[in-house]
Amino acid sequence: LYSMAKTKNFVLPKQSYGVFQGYYNQLFEWSQGKEISEKFIEQSFRKMYNWMRYYRKKLEKYQKQQKHFAQKEVKWNQKIQKVLRKLKGRFPAFYKAIEGQPLQNQILMMQPVHSMQDRLYRGNVTDHYIGYVFVFKGNIYEIGLPYTEYRKFMHDPTLAMIWILMGASFVILFGFRFFFAGTLVNPLNRLLEGVSKVNEGNLNVSVKVGVEDEIGFLTRSFNDMVISIRTAQEKLQEYANSLEEKVKERTLELQKTLEEVQALKVQQDGDYFLTSRLINPLGRNNATGEFTKVEFIVKQKKHFQFRKWEAEIGGDICMAHTLYLDDEKYIFFLNADAMGKSIQGAGGALVLGAVMESIIQRTNLSKEARHTSPEKWLYYTFIELQKVFESFDGAMLISMIMGLVHDQSGFLYFLNAEHPWAVLYRDGRSEFLENELAIRKVGFMGAEFSFSIKTFSMAKGDAIFLGSDGKDDLVLPNGTVNEDETLFLRVLNEAKGELEKIPEVLQKHGKLMDDLSVMKITWEGKEPLKHLPEEDQKKLRRAKKLVKIGEYEQALSIFKALHAQYPDADFIVHDIVYTFSQKQDYAQMAGYAIYGMRVFPADEELMYKASYASKMAGDYNTAADIGERLRLRNPTHFRNLINVANVHLLLGNLDRATQLLEEAKAIDPENPKIEELMQAIEKLYPDT
């Protein structure tokens, strides 16, 4: 069967294979369509062998019990058929070979097929054999050997192996004992004895090294360790003996150093104290406005004590003074923060305060200096500060808000040099007055000076708050630094606009980490009149009708009478200026417009008309001065740029006229007025 399977010439011949016919049939059926290999043959026979042994035992059991079923032959046959049905279901080809055979033949055909590697045990109670199966010339043979002969054959070599095993055991049990005692146990005992002596405090121990093996290395390392400990102990004892003397020497050195540090600190505190004494007079509130009130608080971060005085020093400074410009009363204010900590910031604040104090005194003492508009005064003051701080080569920078309040009208002029934005507090609510950065810090190298003066008309009861970045730089309860610039708006609302409560409310939100300065400017003046009584309103309407029909003198008579009665009504001044413009009396028009812009400084239209009327009246210098003031406040006022360019052209200031026309062109490049003036320049100055 195996030979045919290997050659794949596996066909079912006509002759019978006797008792192995069932195995042959089943193997033949399983081999159809499969790869025939030794493994396949081996697995197939193993499977059949195990099951056939099971079915054979069942049938042999029922065969022996046949006599017990003599009266119940039907039941006995049912049991036999049940086993055969199970065999048929699992091995149908095998069943086909034994079907119809007597029970004895069926049992015989289920005898196991052994492989040549299997050892078979045969015999009875007295005689035992060991058998092996082999194939020779197509026949299966089994050879058996008496077990007693096998024992005699194996006796001599087995006895020799027993004696060898006993000898080896003796050597292991007794010889290794002496070997380990000399190479392992005794060296370890000596080492442990040395460790015990060291634990008792004996550092003169030296353990003998027997063999240079791992234990010998460990012993030598132990000896080296004991020597190191003994040496360190001797040095420690020597150091302890001289410790008291060294402590005295070190104490004297420390005392001397502390005295030097204390002397330096006293000197430093003296410098701090002197600097603070110099700054304090500069940061005073000397504003005495009739309607304008200035208050401020300054809390420097650095506190110190010099002798019996306690003081603080830092880079924040606030100033307020009363100025008269063009015979109008103004309140000057300044809130600034010099960059740097402690003495460096204080140095910047000192320089700023000294320069500003000089400018204030010069303005108050010089008639020429007082004859300056607020816009130009702020402009020239900033330029002077910039030049001073530029001399420090960028080592001293100042952020600040500086401005003027027209005491009579509450009109605010200010400029912001990279300082926190000004805040308006009105009717219990706060909001920023600014939303963009216009000017870099004072002292910033290469800073641009083409800036604008910001303006704001304060209403009665308004409060303007200015402050350094110390009001924003708070350490919040979660340990982070505040980056929300709107926090101060909420603080201001919580404090209800009361200056004294602001530091307390700030510290509820976080911990101050920088100098703090806050300035409050309030105005309680009278606002311009908005409406006339009905009777006078009728007069005003009648005068306007007279202007339309050319009755200028009658109209002016009514307007002037109403103006004398209501000097705070700006719309009446506008009507007078308009009437003179219709009459083409530009000198009178300029006079009333200039008067109006002084009383109502927020009115940019009156400023433009004053400049235009002065030009038409031939007063070019006044026209240029007013026009330049308006340009500082509103650089995008197109009509003013055209008018001032024309004035400078009439004055012969070609470069300035050209520059102003370029600014106008950037606003409205297609405007014909620009081209008209450009052609006039080319006509008057063809060589340029």
Q: Are residues 515 and 540 in the same domain?
A: no
- What pLDDT shows up at residue 133? 74
Domain finish residue from 523, 558, 577: 523
Closest CA to 470 of 301, 282, 279: 301
* Residue with tokens 């209403």, as numbered in its chain: 459
pTM above 0.75, yes or no: no
Domain finish residue from 523, 546, 577: 523
Burial class (CB in 10 A: 0-12, 13-18, 19+), 670: exposed
Q: Are residues 331 and 474 in the same domain?
A: yes
- What pLDDT shows up at residue 301? 83
Does residue 257 sit within a domain?
Answer: no
Indicate the number of domains in the chain. Answer: 3
- DSSP structure string for 540-580: HHHHHHHHHTT-HHHHHHHHHHHHHH-TT-HHHHHHHHHHH
Q: Are residues 502 and 539 in the same domain?
A: no
- What pLDDT shows up at residue 517? 93
* Residue with tokens 């006229």, as numbered in its chain: 657
Q: Are residues 468 and 591 in the same domain?
A: no
Does residue 187 sit within a domain?
Answer: no
Whichever domain contains 602, its CATH number is 1.25.40.10
How far is residue 652's CA from residue 629's CA, in Å, rounded to a whole number?
19
Antiparallel, parallel or unpaired: β 474-475 and 511-512: antiparallel
Phi/psi of residue 454, nearest 5 degrees:
-80, 150
Q: Are residues 517 and 547 in the same domain?
A: no
- What pLDDT shows up at residue 281? 85
Does residue 292 sit within a domain?
Answer: yes
- What pLDDT shows up at residue 212? 74
Does residue 313 sit within a domain?
Answer: yes
Q: Are residues 490 and 565 in the same domain?
A: no
Domain finish residue from 460, 489, 523: 523
Q: Are residues 366 and 477 in the same domain?
A: yes
Does residue 605 sit within a domain?
Answer: yes
Does residue 411 sit within a domain?
Answer: yes
Fill in the amino acid letter for 440: R
Helices (H), 454-501: 487-494
Specify the DSSP element, H or E, that contains 6. helix 2-6
pLDDT-flagged residues of the chain (< 50): 1, 5-15
Q: Are residues 498 and 561 in the same domain?
A: no
Query: How is residue 577 written in tokens?
Result: 């200026």
Greatest alpha-carbon pair distance for the chain in Å reads 166
- What pLDDT shows up at residue 138? 59
Does residue 640 sit within a domain?
Answer: yes
Residue 623 · residue 611 · CB < 8 Å? yes
Specify the DSSP element, H or E, that contains 316. strand 316-325
Does residue 150 sit within a domain?
Answer: no
- What pLDDT shows up at residue 283? 86
Phi/psi of residue 502, nearest 5 degrees:
-60, -50
Q: Are residues 546 and 470 in the same domain?
A: no
Residue 464 · residue 458 · CB < 8 Å? yes
Specify the DSSP element, H or E, that contains 520. strand 516-523
Q: Are residues 338 and 425 in the same domain?
A: yes
540-556 pLDDT per residue, tens: 999 999 999 999 999 99
Q: Are residues 336 and 485 in the same domain?
A: yes
Whichever domain contains 340, its CATH number is 3.60.40.10
The dihedral built from the CA positions of residue 259, 262, 266 and 267, taken in this order, carries a sign that is positive
Q: Are residues 506 and 603 in the same domain?
A: no
Structural domain of 422: 280-523
